[in-house]
Structure 1
Amino acid sequence: MNRRHFTLSLSSVAALTIAGWLPTARAQAWPDKPVRFVLSQPAGSGPDNVARLLSDRLAKTWAQPVVIDNKPGGQNITGALVAARAPADGSSFYFATTAALVTNPLLFKTLPYDPQKDFVPVAFVAKSPFAILVEASSPIRTMEDLIARSKAEPGKLTLGNEGPRTFSGMIARLFNARSGAQANLVSYSSVGVGSQDLMGKHIDAMVADLASTAALAKQGRMRVLATTSAKRVAGWEQVPALAELLPGFDMVGWFAVVAPKGTPQPVITRANRDISSLLADREVADRIAAIGPIAEPGLSVDQVAAFLAGEHTRWAAITKEIGVLPE
């Protein structure tokens, strides 16, 4: 090999080495610009409140602004699509819910995004218990009362929810199916609208997430009959879990952070570590619990992936049980 060829070879090796080093170096320097969390829910919603709490703390940890980008609408499709199409450089994450990552593929024949192909797991944030609530002065005091009344006059008792193809709507259908209740399911465009009708005594009961209704319940304007979780919820220990009446009933929403596929692994690893560290902070966990959800720190990236896979399997069985087919 002559000197010219040897010099060229060294240059080629150097170029390849630098090319391979640059993405890693950039990832290690992350974040070097503002970070965006895309949400499918509007400002003021339960997920939004939790995301803003975390973003304020993460901004200090990362020394960069963490911006909340609300993209509500289309049963989470609008926000999911924005997040899926975002640059995979660590500048954008998707603060996702059960619907966006698990149930939408079971409810729609075609989606403009694929939760399993377009995103990679980053961190698990919290579980979001749902509840069955009545207006504070309602004569319905227990779930047994509600079921008995619905059976006594089939179709007369009204149970509000956000629609047959939403999380609360499917909880309502599963409750009817497993309890033998014959409640008339009334759809609303949002928890807020349903809550106003419940407090106005236009409906008898409602299925909603605690994150959106906790404040009204604590103000004494609503009464929580049961949570839809397998066990009683921390902070709501006086409220029975529906599983105490219907063994095996476990319908709990959750929040997880995912990133566009192709996001550098070092970024994902650090984001997982930093988010989990925040969630393990007692003050942060208590503030999230005050909103409604229950923080669950400590899941590794692989554990989040395994959890999501398990949820796909579980929800496939649930949608089959209640007869929900993709449209």
Structure 2
Amino acid sequence: MNGQTILVTGAAGFIGSHSAEALIDLGYKVVGVDNFCDFYDRSWKEMNLKSVGPGIDVEEIDITDGAAIDRLVGKAKPVAILHLAAMAGVRPSIEQPAYYARVNVEGTTHLLQAAVKHKVKKFLFASSSSVYGNMSKVPFQEEDAGYEPVSPYAATKRAGELLCYTFWHLYKMPTFCLRFFTVYGPRQRPDLAIHKFTRLITRGEPVPFFGDGTTSRDYTFVEDTVSGIMKALEHCDRYRVYNLGGSDPVTLKDLVEELQRAIGKTAILDKRPSQPGDVERTFADLTRASSEIGYKPSVSLAEGLKRFVEWFKQYGHLYKLPGEQSAEKPTVA
């Protein structure tokens, strides 16, 4: 295993940088791909990479550039590809559906083509719990039928899974699709709820609170998600879909209450109507992931939020979103 190369797309991102760290700790050489898009400040992605430390070589490439992806895979000769790069976010995908389709579907196709051409042995695709849509049956099981994604983002992730199956059918390249369930923790994207809420509560600013607080999410600490990714890499030997969640859904109301405890400050709620594209709940059935690859999340929400808030107190105040006042740049996290 030592010295083998893994190609990680989206390596400068939240899950990507944590995954790269874990792979390096396991003795792999990591070649990263990231286009450093302006979805959020580039300096944060650069900080993520500094946190990874030595052992990662990152190429600035857009995954929609098929020729560049082909050249890189041919040059790096990875034994596996961990494909995390994507345009993320439900609400932005409603505003830019064609762009999301281009990056998430076309980009994934380029990577699958290059993987087959250059005889990559394993392919791991980052999917999402959003593919389940508003299914009434819970918890969500991988074999559930009738997915009806309710956002362009969710539809692109389901399309990616179908493409992965097609390439498995045609070329028998072992491929696992990993459905992530609301991942959070240090380095989380600043637009996501836990990071955004923490920033606003800390500053004493109103927190946008959509709906009546009864929507629920299956929050998963990043350490648990990365553990699942590593186990998937070890066991990847066919086409298979796995839920990587916490299997313990929490309502929006309860999340805010737990965050208030972790921060030690009361939130000012700005109550708003429910948002189009948001699902009512996510809830991972982990029976398959547990029995087949040994996945078992261990970090509770209370413990995970405590760790996130500790990180935020050191680094989160440096982040600047459009329209916000803080203009300091991050240094390391």
| TM-score, normalised via structure 1 length | 0.31
> Highest CA radius of gyration, 1 or 2?
1
Considering fraction of residues, name the structure with more helix: 1
Normalising by structure 2, what TM-score?
0.31
Name the structure, 1 or 2, with higher relative contact order (CA <8 Å, separation 6+). 1
